[in-house]
Amino acid sequence: MSAIATHEISKRYGDLVAVDGLDLDVRRGEIYAFLGRNGAGKTTTIRMLLGLIRPSGGHVEVLGQRVRPGATDVFARVGYLVETATAYPNLTVRENLDIQRRLTGAPRAAVAEAIELMRLDAQADRRAGVLSLGYKQRLALARALLHRPELLILDEPANGLDPAGIVEVRELLQSLTSEYGVTVFMSSHILAEVAHLADRIGIVDEGHLLEELDREELHARERGHVRVGASEPQRAAALLTEAGFAHVELADGHLRVFDAAERVPEIARVLVGAGIALTELAPAHEDLESYFLRLTAGVQ
d(CA 13, CA 82): 19
What is the rounded (10 degree) CA torsion for 163, 165, 166, 171?
130
Measured distance CA(134)–CA(80) in Å, rounded = 17
Question: 81 near 154, Cβ under 8 Å?
Answer: yes
Q: How is 71-117 classified by DSSP, letter by letter?
A: --GGGGGEEEE-SS----TTSBHHHHHHHHHHHHT--THHHHHHHHH
Q: How far apart are CA 71 and CA 241, in angstroms?
A: 51
Q: Which stretch binds another protein (CB under 8 A): 52-60, 112-120, 176-184, 235-243?
A: 52-60
Q: Which of residues 125-144 bind another protein (CB under 8 A)?
A: 127, 143
Binding to another protein by residue 290, rule CB under 8 A? Answer: no
Query: Cβ 175 to another protein, closest distance in Å?
Result: 24
- Proportion of the chain in helix, strand, coil states, percent, rounded to 5: 40, 30, 30
Between 129 and 273, name the residue whose CB sits nearer to another protein. Answer: 129
We find the least distance from the C-beta atom of residue 148 to another protein, in angstroms, to be: 13
Residue 35, φ and ψ in degrees, nearest 5: -115, 150
Give yes or no for residue 165 binding another protein (CB under 8 A). Answer: no
- Range in contact with another protein (rule: CB under 8 A) among 68-76, 112-120, 207-215, 217-225: 68-76
Identified binder of another protein from the candidate list 19, 22, 41, 47, rule CB under 8 A = 47
The binder of another protein chosen from 78, 115, 142, 169 (CB under 8 A): 78
Q: Which is nearer to another protein, 69 or 244 (CB)?
A: 69
Regarding 173 and contact with another protein (CB under 8 A), the answer is no
* Binding residue (CB under 8 A) for another protein from 5, 40, 87, 97: 87
Q: CB neighbours (10 Å) of residue 147?
A: 20
122 binds another protein (CB under 8 A): no
Binding residues for another protein, rule: CB under 8 A, are: 47, 50-54, 69-70, 72-76, 78, 80, 82-84, 86-91, 95, 98-100, 102-105, 127, 143
